[in-house]
Each structure stands twice: as structure tokens, then as C-alpha cells.
């Protein structure tokens, strides 16, 4: 069974002004002369022979794209110049075999998928560079989570109390996310040093965080992980909201029910598995205000831990 109709005859020199035939000859020549081990697609083959182990060069990508867009007989190619692991993170993370040049000034932090470094560019401007492992992200089924994180930060990063993300790209094995460097440290460190903050300063920080949250909510984003560790202080001691790893696109007025966040700052409807909306971010802000004023959380930690044991393990995936 199957298709028993004869294969159409090969195109002659006059076909498509002879370009198709010439490109076939070039392909055969490249196949016979290459010793690099890279896979090539035969003109007569109906199968993809892309090699995942070795991505195409920049010139090969450009030639493939140009020929596919301009030649009608080339649009049926099955050999793609993009590997599967690369396509997972497109278009949010464009592929670059050589990224932007930064000078590593030391490690800042470490997370589940990688590390964060303090870097500087050729002009001396400081940035925070997050380097993530693509294999770990795929293994934890967090591809969409990372893509949402970058998109949200790019869309909302122009707000004065949200850290901007000017650059992001991918290489063969890693993702790179560059954010503006904030020199004042975490609000957590400030609370650890002074325990209780002056009322005037608490009012300022609550107001700035409220403006940032309101901006995110009106943009269709729920933050879901507001805590002192995710609040940085700039040189003027104004707040800067970072880490959108648990944020999600959620139209205002809609609900979700994913259990995620940091337990001590989590609204009750989140860890009980009920549907919740943007209001859970305001709960977290209230807990932070309480911590800044009193040095204690609004709910006893042991009671929360006991309640958590009655529910499924806290998840951070979608």
C-alpha cells in the first residue's frame, strides 16, 4: 500500500531559472567534500537529517532562510536550521553562538536552574547576569515559566520600581538573562540588620510596592512571590522588584489555582488549593508591612507549617 504514483521527473536547467538545479549540485558538492560530520539534507529525501549535536552556522541559517522565502521549490525543505532544544525557547530567547561581552565580577546568588553574576559591559555599566541550564529547565517542565518571566520583565521593566531586563538570549546549552544591577542589597538584609524600620520608611516602601503591584495587575500579571528577598534597594534606597519566576499572565478579574510562592507570605486561599486572583499579592504586601513594623509575621510560622502538612507539597510549576 501507500503512494504508488511515479515520482515527478527532475527539474531541468530551465526550471526556476536554473537556480534549483544549481543549488542541488552545490548541495551534493558540500556533501562530498565535508568531513566535519554535520548532517545534510538530500534533495530527493523526504526525511529530516538535521544534526542536533551541531547547530548550523550563521551563514547556513541565512542561506536557508533566503532560499526558503524566495524559491517555491525550496519551501518544502524538511531539514530545519533550528534544533528542538533551541526552538523550545524561541522567540523570547534568540540564538547567539557568541553573546554580548561582559566582564565577570563575581557570583551574586544561586538558584534552582543556575547562578547570578555581577558583570560589567565595555562601558563599565553594571548588570546582573542570570545563567540558566536549559536541560534543567526542560527536565522540570519550566520552559513556559522562564519565557513568561522574561516577557513580563521586558514589558513591565520600564516602571520605576521594577528592575528592567534589557538583554536575553540563548546558546546551545544555556539561557542568559541580563537585568539592571541594583547596588543597595535586599530588603531582607535591611530587616535582618535593624529588625524594625521607622514608620515613615515603612510607609514609603509600602507605597512604592503598591504602585508596582497595581501596575503589574493592570498589565495582566499576577506576581505571586512578594517577599523581602525579592525586593532590592537602589542607591537612593527606593525599592526595585525582581524575580518574576512565579509570575503569570492573568487578566484582571480572572482566577487561577496553582499552589506556589513562599509560605510565610502566601495568602490562605493559595496554600489551601482554592481559586485566587490578584488579591493574593495584596495579602503578601500586608505581611511585609507587618514584618517591617513589628519584626514578626502576621501568622505564627508553626501554625502555618502544621496547616501545610495537610495539603500537597508546595509546587512552583504551572
User: Residue 225 catalytic?
Assistant: yes
Q: In 3D, which of 133, 103, 132 has the Cα closest to residue 118?
A: 103
Q: Name the fold adopted by 187-308.
A: Transferase(Phosphotransferase); domain 1 (1.10.510)
Q: In 3D, which of 232, 234, 209, 217 has the Cα closest to residue 284?
A: 209
Residues 6 or more apart whose Cβ sits within 8 Å of residue 171: 95, 96, 97, 99
Please tell me if the domain spanning 103-180 has the same topology as the one spanning 187-308: no
Give the model's pLDDT for residue 112: 84
- Tell me the pTM: 0.70
Coil, strand, or helix at residue 130? Answer: strand
Residues 6 or more apart whose Cβ sits within 8 Å of residue 199: 293
Domain boundaries, the chain: 15-74, 103-180, 187-308
Q: Considering 14, 121, 225, 234, which one is annotated as catalytic?
A: 225
Grid cell for residue 12: 531541468
Task: Find out whether 21 and 43 touch, Cβ atoms under 8 Å.
Answer: no
The tens-digit pLDDT sequence of the chain (318 residues) is 545 555 544 444 444 343 333 444 444 444 344 443 333 333 343 444 444 445 555 556 666 555 555 555 555 555 556 788 888 898 889 988 776 789 999 999 888 899 999 999 999 999 999 999 999 999 999 999 999 999 999 999 999 999 999 999 999 999 999 999 999 999 999 999 999 999 999 999 999 999 999 999 999 999 999 999 999 999 999 999 999 999 999 998 899 999 999 989 999 999 888 999 999 999 999 999 999 999 988 665 546 655 555 554 444 443
Note the Cα 24 to chain centre separation in Å.
Answer: 40
Grid cell for residue 157: 521593566
Candidates 3.60.40.10, 3.30.200.20, 3.40.50.180, 3.40.47.10; CATH matching 103-180? 3.30.200.20
Amino acid at each position: 500500500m501507500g503512494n504508488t504514483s511515479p515520482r515527478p521527473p527532475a527539474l531541468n536547467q530551465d526550471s526556476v531559472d536554473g537556480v534549483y538545479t544549481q543549488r542541488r549540485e552545490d548541495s551534493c558538492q558540500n556533501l562530498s567534500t565535508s568531513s566535519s560530520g554535520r548532517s545534510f539534507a538530500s534533495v530527493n529525501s523526504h526525511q529530516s537529517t538535521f544534526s542536533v549535536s551541531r547547530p548550523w552556522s550563521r551563514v547556513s541559517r541565512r542561506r536557508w532562510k533566503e532560499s526558503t522565502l524566495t524559491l517555491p521549490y525550496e519551501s518544502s525543505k524538511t531539514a530545519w536550521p533550528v534544533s528542538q532544544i533551541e526552538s523550545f525557547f524561541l522567540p523570547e530567547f534568540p540564538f547567539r553562538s557568541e553573546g554580548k561581552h561582559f566582564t565577570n565580577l563575581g557570583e551574586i546568588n544561586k538558584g534552582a536552574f543556575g547562578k547570578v553574576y555581577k558583570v560589567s559591559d565595555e562601558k563599565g555599566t553594571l548588570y546582573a547576569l542570570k545563567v540558566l541550564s536549559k536541560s534543567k529547565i526542560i527536565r522540570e517542565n519550566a520552559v513556559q515559566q522562564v519565557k513568561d518571566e522574561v516577557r513580563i520583565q521586558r514589558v513591565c521593566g520600564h516602571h520605576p520600581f521594577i528592575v528592567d531586563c534589557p538583554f536575553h538570549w540563548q546558546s546551545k546549552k544555556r539561557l542568559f538573562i541580563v537585568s539592571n544591577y541594583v547596588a543597595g542589597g535586599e530588603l531582607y538584609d535591611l530587616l535582618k540588620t535593624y529588625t524594625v524600620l521607622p514608620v515613615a520608611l515603612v510607609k514609603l516602601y509600602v507605597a512604592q510596592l503598591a504602585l508596582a503591584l497595581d501596575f503589574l495587575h493592570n498589565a495582566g500579571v499576577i506576581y505571586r512571590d512578594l517577599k523581602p528577598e525579592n525586593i532590592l534597594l537602589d542607591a537612593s534606597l527606593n525599592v526595585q522588584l525582581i524575580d518574576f519566576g512565579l509570575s503569570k499572565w492573568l487578566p484582571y478579574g480572572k482566577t487561577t489555582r496553582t499552589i506556589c510562592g513562599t509560605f510565610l507570605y502566601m495568602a490562605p486561599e493559595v496554600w489551601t488549593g482554592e481559586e485566587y486572583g490578584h488579591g493574593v499579592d495584596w495579602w503578601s504586601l500586608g505581611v511585609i508591612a507587618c514584618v517591617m513594623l513589628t519584626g514578626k509575621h502576621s501568622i505564627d510560622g508553626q501554625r502555618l507549617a502544621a496547616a501545610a502538612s495537610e495539603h500537597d507539597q508546595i509546587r512552583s510549576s504551572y
